[in-house]
Structure 1
Amino acid sequence: MKILAQSDRALFYWMFNLMAKRDCGWIKWVSKTGDGQLYVVLGALLWWLEPEHGALFLSSGLLAYTLEIPVYLILKRALKRKRPCDCANNFNAHITPSDKFSLPSGHTAAAFLMASLVSAFYPNLLIFAYFWASCIGLSRVLLGVHYPGDIVAGAALGMSIALISLSIF
């Protein structure tokens, strides 16, 4: 575990340093697309405009996020992994994190959950959906608020919860 944690930190610093002295406006924008509002709008639009799968998409999405949020919060509070911006001296993240723990990444969990749902209902959007979710995860590392391992854990959480929701529906 120690070697894994050291590798995770080393990869984080390498990735973060790529953006250390650059304008991160576009990365912040990508990250913001994972804040949650887009999921609500997408679900509502599909429910309203797409008669074949829209209502089922919205229902499975509501169930999935109802399951994901408490699991995510329980894991964060149980694991209590400090964020990279809270572990190093003279280190400033490009954004202020919403809470103090980093594992798992909530933005990444939610994005991969949505990508999994979109892919299940609209398979022709699979590549786009997972690319977008991956960009959200990557943005969280580049902005300095998550380690790469947090992103992997968030992606696994999101996809797992999506599978549970889809199996119920």
Structure 2
Amino acid sequence: MRAIQPIAEFDLAFSLFCLRHRFNRQVASISKVISRTGDGHLYIVLGFLIWWLDHQDQGQFFRSGLLAFAIHLPIYWLAKNSFRRRRPKELSELLTCFITPSDRYSLPSGHTAAAFLIATLIGNFYPEFYVIALCWAALIGLSRILLGVHFMTDVLIGALLGIACAQGALLIMAV
């Protein structure tokens, strides 16, 4: 446990830095909008839209996404309930949480994992949009920190989880 203590201290200090400034409410307003794009509705719409519009794709993006999420969700759930890392607000009364999280624990960030999963799939199928997708995924991760529901390492591990699940699905499907 002592090995992760410096990481936990950094996480808390970074969260304090991000959340204890005079513009935190304005930043939170913008972050809420960004975070909402990672709630999951957009992924379903995007999958069906690509399936409908891209006739050369033949549903590969959609099927890859379904498989990637089928891999991702059990790992995400198991990690959340194994690590049981408390959210930033629970560790410091000095921190403000601007939204109500959808679940109890913070590690890994599910919003970030899903966003990087989708960004990785977009990069594979539509490389011309990869940079935009990665920037969007990174903004979702940052928004989760700025809303006070995740620590930096929650977001980093979420990003790695999303990328790994997408890559795993792509390997399985040999796309």
> TM-score surpassing 0.5?
yes
Offset at 1:136? 0.1
* Aligned twin of 1:15: 18
Are 1:46 and 1:54, in contact at CA under 8 Å, matched by a contact in 2? no
- RMSD of aligned alpha carbons: 1.2
* Aligned twin of 1:121: 125
Are 1:118 and 1:129, in contact at CA under 8 Å, matched by a contact in 2? yes
- Matched residues in 2 for 1:65 and 1:78: separation? 19
TM-score after normalising by structure 1: 0.95
**Does 1:33 find its partner at 2:37?**
yes
Offset at 1:12? 1.5
Gaps of 5+ in 1: none
* Aligned twin of 2:107: 103
Offset at 1:11? 1.1
* Aligned twin of 1:160: 164
1:104-158 C-alpha deviation (Å, 9 max, x unpaired): 0000000000000001000001110000000000000000000000000000000
Identical positions, percent = 43
* Aligned twin of 1:51: 55
1:27-77 C-alpha deviation (Å, 9 max, x unpaired): 101000000000000000111110112500000000001110111000000
- Matched residues in 1 for 2:27 and 2:153: separation? 25
- Matched residues in 1 for 2:102 and 2:140: separation? 16
* Aligned twin of 1:68: 72
- In the TM superposition, 1:81-96 aligns within 5 A as 81-89=85-93, 91-96=95-100
**Does 1:146 find its partner at 2:146?**
no
Alpha-carbon spacing, 1:160–1:21, altered in 2? closer, same or farther (3 Å): same
- Matched residues in 2 for 1:79 and 1:38: separation? 28
1:80-122 C-alpha deviation (Å, 9 max, x unpaired): 0000012222543111111110000000000000000001000
TM-score after normalising by structure 2: 0.92
Offset at 1:21? 4.1
Offset at 1:24? 2.5
Are 2:16 and 2:94, in contact at CA under 8 Å, matched by a contact in 1? no
Moved more, 15-24 or 144-153: 15-24
Are 1:43 and 1:54, in contact at CA under 8 Å, matched by a contact in 2? no
Are 2:16 and 2:95, in contact at CA under 8 Å, matched by a contact in 1? no
* Aligned twin of 1:24: 28
